[in-house]
Chain A
Amino acid sequence: MLQQVEGSHGIAEAVALCRPEVISAYPITPQTHIVEDLGAMVKRGDLGNARFMTVESEFGAMSAAIGSSATGARTYTATSSQGMLFMAEAVYNASGLGLPIVMTVGNRAIGAPINIWNDHTDSMSMRDSGWIQLYAQSNQEALDLHIQAFRLAEAVSCPVMVCVDGFILTHAYERVDIPEQKQVDEYLPSFQPRQVLDPNRPISIGAMVGPEAFTEVRYLEHHKQLEALKIIPTLQKEFHEKFGRDSGGLVSGYRTEDADTLIVALGSVNGTIQDVVDEMREDGVLIGSVSICSFRPFPLAALREVLKKAKRVIMLEKSFAVGLGGVVDPNIRMTLRGISKPIYNIIAGLGGRAITKKSLHEVFDKAIKDELEGTHFLDLQWDIVNKEIEREKQQPRSGPIAENILRDIGSVASDIA
């Protein structure tokens, strides 16, 4: 049914349609609306026996999810930013234990300086945790990916993060098609795990594994994700058949056919990029874009197939590995191993900085002229940065960066001293 709803509400509705049995959550912006909606549904009795746990922390949220999933209940949680880091130890544990928990990440920056706005630092910090990570381009896709996520997680016994841009998607009101319960039931069978905690068939889960078998366990975790690479397109296809829409998959290209220049990105920024592609196409530029939906497992082959013919690739990402450059960028270089072509890396939208069409236009133009540096920071205010660098030379050992900038501008209470 078509409805004009907030992104978070659409996600909550989708999760509800998946008949979750246990939901545990700890509030953090911008994830809150999703779990608030689910909490209300559970309280009203809309979700049958389902339980909603208001835990004491994100670490508790993921830990409770571990217990509930290991007992055979379909389990869901959601978090963002600092919460993602706070639960980190349990995130790795859930995948190590092969528990098909589904978690929404309302993508948000990580502090300090504390910042509630969107970028991908939080989910990227868990990129090697053994979780599958799917990135949604739109509210509709965010909703649809959750339905696919439960099926995928349970098919391969591996937890799945559905990464949804904070505010840009979670808080945006858009028209979405919310499926019927019957359709979802047909698409997503009930959860029937092979191993559960059951006093009638007691097993020990979570043993201490030494060097004799640890590598094998890890490799098999990797193998599951490689399997997921095959399953994801099938789920996308079946989803299309059942719901009549294209959502998910490994990667999706936009006007890539004859493109010399291809922009690669994750999540909602693909919308803006596609607008820019359209505009530049009108000016006769052979440009296209590719959205990576499945970041883990990383679709090396599928992406290589799309990118190989282009003359240059621009990786635009909302994540940043301090001391190196892009986080996704090295993955692109692995994708194109053995193929020689310029790869530009643009770091954009950190901490919610708007990614405007105008700036994209400029930077793509530069890249097309092969005038862009290897790692480019979109709309970086060089005046402020250079001033700070200069000052730091005169007076080093000065601690918190944001406060230094403010102190130098003279706009903080730090002047009191």
Chain B
Amino acid sequence: MITQRVKFYQTDTFTAGSRLVDMESRSVQANMERTNSLNSGHRACQGCGEALGARYAIDAAMHATDNKIIAVNATGCLEVFSTPYPETSWQIAWIHSLFGNAAAVASGVAEALAVKGDTETRVIAQGGDGGTTDIGFGCLSGMFERNDDVLYICYDNQGYMNTGVQRSSATPPTARTATTMPVGPEPGNVFGTGKDVPRIAMAHDIPYVATATVANLKDLEAKVKKAMSFRGARYIHIFVPCPLGWGSQTYDTIRLARLVVECGLFPLYEAEYGEVIRVIPIRRQVPVEEYLKPQRRFAHLFGKKGNPETIAKLQVMADKNIQKYGLLKKGGEDE
């Protein structure tokens, strides 16, 4: 009898896919024993990518360390929606101090563990893009530079969501935020600004840097697991759509996180000691419009008063990424 192997591209993202792989290769999320580090009942908006990303990442880290995690959280949506006194969603040892100091607090935790000779417990610092790329940047760079034994995870929803969707240095060009309104000759956030923190992290020559999205669960988990196999400073930048801030449908969170990769605007890669060692190739590049259109923060680029030139500029950015990271390399399909 002639059989044909069925190839599931997204095994584990979907429940059905999960059941088709052996226990070992299943995702942590597919495992009934997962810690559920960020438990249900928190106050995140429906479809919140950050809530999803945090649970994926911390569950994976718990899995990789035999549940020996202490997490330090920056102020922001994740902190606010997870710990309204007297409740908490966290099933792990967790501390929130300030908006801009998560990396430094985590360094202090790591040093305290070191004094006490505890080599099992591992430390994670986490924050939003604002807490990471802007106000917490000094502490973050210090933690990297000292190579403190901390994994820092940035949940990038491209703006200050907790305070009502203002621009951060991770807000993309043209995006509407409360401080970059779609008015005037250059509507939305301006071009030529912003900070590429994963690359800045790499410039510190730290052991491990990776980018990930909530759309690719297996990849995200693998990166967290890998990060936990290193000692020293590590950084993972996770793309997490925010339906409220972006004006997107709550059911589109995963789709947008997939499209941002497939159009080239958010390259997925891993770097060790300052060198990119692996990228996730794009099977089929989609035009940036497909990613932009479902989001109201880009609405001024479409419709009657559409703005094809601006879209073309964003396409150039996406193409540049594809070029720079070799995302469409031949033979990469079977990654």
- Chain A: minimal CB distance from B100 (Å): 7
Cβ-defined contact, A64 with B105, below 8 A: yes
| Complex contacts, B80 vs chain A, CB 8 Å | 208
Q: At the interface with chain A, which of B9-17, B65-73, B231-239, B302-310?
A: B65-73
Binary flags per residue of A27-55, CB closer than 8 Å to B gives 1, else 0: 00000000000000000000001110111
When chains A and B are docked, how far (Å) is the Cα of A71 from the Cα of B108? 8
Q: Using Cβ atoms and an 8 Å threshold, which residues of chain B touch A338?
A: none
Q: Which of the listed residues A49, A70, A71, A201 has the most CB atoms from chain B within 10 Å of its own CB?
A: A71
- A61-85 contacts to B, CB under 8 A, are 61, 63-73, 75
The residues of B that contact A198 with a CB separation of less than 8 Å are: 70, 93
Query: CB distance A63 to B139 under 8 Å?
Result: yes
Q: Would you give the 0/1 interface string for A188-212, flagging 1 where the beta carbon is closer than 8 Å to chain B? A: 0000000001110111111111101
Check if A70 sits within 8 Å of B115, measured CB to CB: no
Q: Give the bracket for the number of chain A residues in contact with chain B.
A: 35 or more
Instruction: Check: B86 CB closer than 8 A to any chain A CB.
Output: yes
Do A68 and B109 touch across chains, with their CB atoms under 8 A apart? yes
Q: How far is the CA of A70 from the CA of B96 in the complex (A)?
A: 11
Closest-by-CB residue of B relative to A22 is B111
Report the nearest B residue to A60, measured CB to CB: B104
Contacts of A213 in B (CB 8 A): 85-86
Contact B115 A199 (CB under 8 A): no
Question: Which residues from chain A contact B96 at a C-beta distance below 8 Å?
Answer: 204-207
Residues of B within 8 A of A49 (CB): 114-117
- Chain B residue nearest to A209 (CB atoms) is B85
How distant is the Cα of A89 from the Cα of B98 in the complex, in angstroms? 8
Q: Is the Cβ of B138 less than 8 Å from the Cβ of A51?
A: no
For residue A378, CB closer than 8 A to chain B, the reply is: no
Are A67 and B139 in contact, with the CB atoms below 8 A? no
A59 interfacial contact with B, CB 8 Å: yes
Question: A residues within 8 A CB of B68?
Answer: 199
A63 to B86, CA, bound (A): 24
**Docked-complex contact A64 and B108, CB < 8 angstroms:** yes
Write the nearest CB–CB distance from A199 to chain B, whole angstroms: 5
A226 within 8 A of B: no
Interchain CB contact under 8 A, B141 and A24:
no
Contact B108 A93, beta carbon cutoff 8 Å: no
Structural contact, B113 and A63, CB atoms closer than 8 A: no
A-side contacts of B111, CB under 8 Å: 22, 24, 51, 53, 64, 67-68, 73
A50 — which chain B residues lie within 8 A by C-beta? 115
Q: A59 to B115, Cβ gap below 8 A? A: no
* A63 and B115 contacting across the interface, CB-CB below 8 Å: no
- A208 near B79: Cβ-Cβ < 8 Å: yes
A210 to B112, CA, bound (A): 31
- Tell me if B250 is interfacial: C-beta within 8 Å of chain A: no
- CB<8 Å pairs between A and B, sample of 12: A53-B111, A55-B142, A56-B104, A56-B138, A63-B104, A63-B139, A65-B108, A66-B105, A68-B112, A199-B121, A206-B79, A207-B85
Q: Please list the residues of chain B having a beta carbon within 8 angstroms of any beta carbon in chain A.
A: 67-70, 72-73, 79-80, 83-88, 90-98, 100-101, 104-117, 121, 138-139, 141-142, 145-146
Cβ-closest 6 pairs across A and B: A67-B108, A56-B142, A206-B96, A63-B104, A64-B108, A71-B112
